[in-house]
């Protein structure tokens, strides 16, 4: 496929065959090389009915289901635009929550091991069941599916300020629990407040560098401050919802005359009955994901308060697997579009009306976790972002889990990390080995490419002090 560099950190795939728009990948040559197998997916997305401007990919691009992970695409519902679960992913509303502590790293150091020992048993993780919140019945789960973090806070799991610093104020509108299958409910009922496995984690961090003091101050961050970052999503409930609705759309595409180059791009018109059903189920899963992070945040707060007398305040909570109906200017005209972000973070610019007043001048916090032993970043949105106000979501995988586990044992990796002063609490040795730093791209290079491409701006860099691994 002909991929041409057409600007700083920007590569273009010219339309060919069934492509309706070009493909655009924001990356350096070094970042693009290991993602060669995902380039075809960027081109495939460009064939979707109603797609607008381009099929985009972020610097952390790698192979995904249907869409590349790091993929962004907007479709116009008024021009036959479609919704595709492959553009959201199986872990609906997987995202990141960052909390800032009222203590610096030097103050936490004497009790860090105590804090980590406290977090280890209260943060459920791994493939099995287990959760912070054991729901007594379907009514409570319905409350989560419709109310998200807001319902959790109303039930005593957090404070009103948490909602002000959460995307969509903690609750996605339009959730329809009636579109969530019983199998999805069964999978989700006993997992509210759990990390899951894979690349999910809770990490205790230190603010190592501040690049934009004004934005950092607005976010509540300062040099040497302790932070807690949580990365997780909607667990088995979201996975089942994606599975159910992909199957339904596969059966319905012929009715709408839709053909796609990859069955994983199953889709239907946004406004169709099947499209509305998926949007309602997806919003319910997104609310589950928000509540999930809210519960884990509360568990961490209790440990920090008990072990160190420390308070944790929410900096922000944002998803990176979601489709949303948003207004964007296209060719000088404001249009309502369905924006798919799959492994990509919404990055609203300064002044955007959807931001809370105390963040409006600085822009939206964009939370980009790295890997165990490397940095994570806090970014902010910028005016005129070229991909529907989107930015990267992480380092981007380069090795499969099997390849990563062959390269190092979990025991050896833990020893290496603890030699660097990072306390590690894994759920399994195999799971730890699968998520070693060598399995991912250099997150600093990913962030440099995102900033160089005009997607975002750096605010702060965080480094790990301790990690609880899924």
| Gyration radius (Cα) of the chain, Å | 21
Q: Where are the beta strands (DSSP E) in 8-145?
A: 10-13, 23-25, 51-62, 69-75, 82-83, 95-104
307 within 8 A of 110, measured Cβ to Cβ: no
As to burial, measured by CB atoms within 10 angstroms (0-12 exposed, 13-18 middle, 19+ buried), residue 36 is: exposed
Rounded to the nearest 10 degrees, the angle between the axes of helix 273-308 and helix 235-252 is 170
Q: Residue 232 in 3-state DSSP?
A: strand
Q: 10 Å Cβ neighbour count for 353?
A: 6
Answer yes or no: 157 catalytic: no
Rounded to the nearest 10 degrees, the angle between the axes of helix 112-122 and helix 273-308 is 140
- Rounded Cα distance, 379 and 200, in Å: 20
303 within 8 A of 118, measured Cβ to Cβ: yes
φ, ψ at 204 (rounded to 5°): -90, 130
58 within 8 A of 72, measured Cβ to Cβ: yes
- Rounded Cα distance, 52 and 72, in Å: 11
Q: Residues 200, 352, 393, 402: which is the catalytic one? A: 393
- Rounded Cα distance, 85 and 264, in Å: 9
DSSP 8-state class, residue 60: E
Q: Residue 129 in 3-state DSSP?
A: coil
Rounded to the nearest 10 degrees, how much is the dihedral formed by the CA atoms of 232, 210, 436, 470? -20
Q: Residue 59 in 3-state DSSP?
A: strand
Q: 10 Å Cβ neighbour count for 213?
A: 13
Beta 423-425 vs 457-469: how paired, if at all?
Answer: parallel
- Rounded Cα distance, 263 and 164, in Å: 39
Q: Residue 23 in 3-state DSSP?
A: strand
Q: 10 Å Cβ neighbour count for 366?
A: 31
The residues annotated with a catalytic role in the active site are 393
């Amino acid at each position: 496929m002909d991929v041409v560099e057409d600007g700083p950190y920007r590569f273009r795939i010219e339309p060919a065959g069934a492509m309706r728009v070009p493909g655009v990948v924001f990356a350096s040559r070094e970042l693009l090389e290991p993602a060669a197998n995902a380039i075809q997916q960027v081109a495939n997305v460009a064939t979707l009915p109603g797609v607008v401007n381009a099929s985009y990919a972020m610097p952390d691009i790698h192979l995904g289901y249907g869409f590349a992970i790091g993929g962004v695409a907007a479709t116009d519902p008024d021009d036959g635009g479609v919704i595709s679960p492959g553009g959201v992913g199986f872990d609906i509303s997987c995202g990141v929550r960052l909390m800032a502590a009222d203590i610096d790293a030097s103050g936490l150091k004497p009790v860090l091991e105590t804090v980590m020992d406290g977090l280890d048993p209260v943060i459920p993780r791994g493939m099995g069941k287990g959760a912070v919140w054991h729901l007594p019945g379907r009514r409570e789960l319905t409350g989560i599916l419709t109310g998200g973090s807001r319902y959790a806070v109303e039930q005593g799991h957090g404070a009103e300020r948490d909602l002000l610093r959460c995307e969509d104020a903690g609750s996605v509108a339009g959730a329809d629990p009636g579109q969530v299958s019983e199998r999805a409910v069964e999978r989700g009922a006993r997992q509210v407040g759990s990390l899951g496995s894979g690349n999910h984690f809770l990490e205790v961090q230190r603010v190592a560098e501040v690049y934009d003091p004004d934005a950092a101050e607005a976010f509540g961050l300062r040099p040497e401050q302790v932070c807690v970052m949580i990365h997780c999503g909607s667990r088995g409930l979201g996975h089942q919802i994606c599975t159910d609705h992909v199957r339904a759309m596969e059966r319905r595409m012929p009715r709408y005359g839709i053909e796609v180059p990859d069955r994983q791009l199953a889709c239907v018109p946004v406004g169709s009955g099947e499209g509305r059903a998926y949007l309602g189920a997806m919003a319910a899963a997104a609310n589950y994901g928000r509540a999930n992070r809210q519960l884990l945040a509360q568990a961490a707060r209790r440990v920090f308060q008990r072990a160190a007398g420390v308070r944790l305040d929410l900096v922000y909570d944002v998803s990176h697997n979601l489709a949303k109906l948003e207004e964007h200017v296209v060719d000088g005209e404001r249009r309502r579009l369905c924006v798919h972000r799959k492994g990509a973070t919404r990055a609203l610019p300064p002044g955007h009306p959807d931001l809370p007043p105390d963040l409006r001048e600085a822009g939206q916090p964009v939370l980009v976790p790295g890997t165990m032993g490397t940095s994570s970043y806090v970014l902010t949105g910028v005016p005129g972002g070229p991909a529907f106000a989107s930015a990267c979501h992480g380092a981007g995988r380069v090795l499969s889990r099997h390849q990563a586990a062959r390269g190092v044992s979990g025991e050896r990796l833990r020893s290496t990390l603890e030699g660097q002063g990072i306390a590690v609490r894994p759920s399994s040795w195999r799971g730890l080995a699968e998520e070693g730093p060598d399995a991912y791209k250099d997150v600093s290079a990913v962030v440099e490419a995102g900033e160089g491409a005009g997607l975002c701006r750096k605010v702060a860099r965080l480094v790990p002090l301790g990690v609880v691994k899924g």
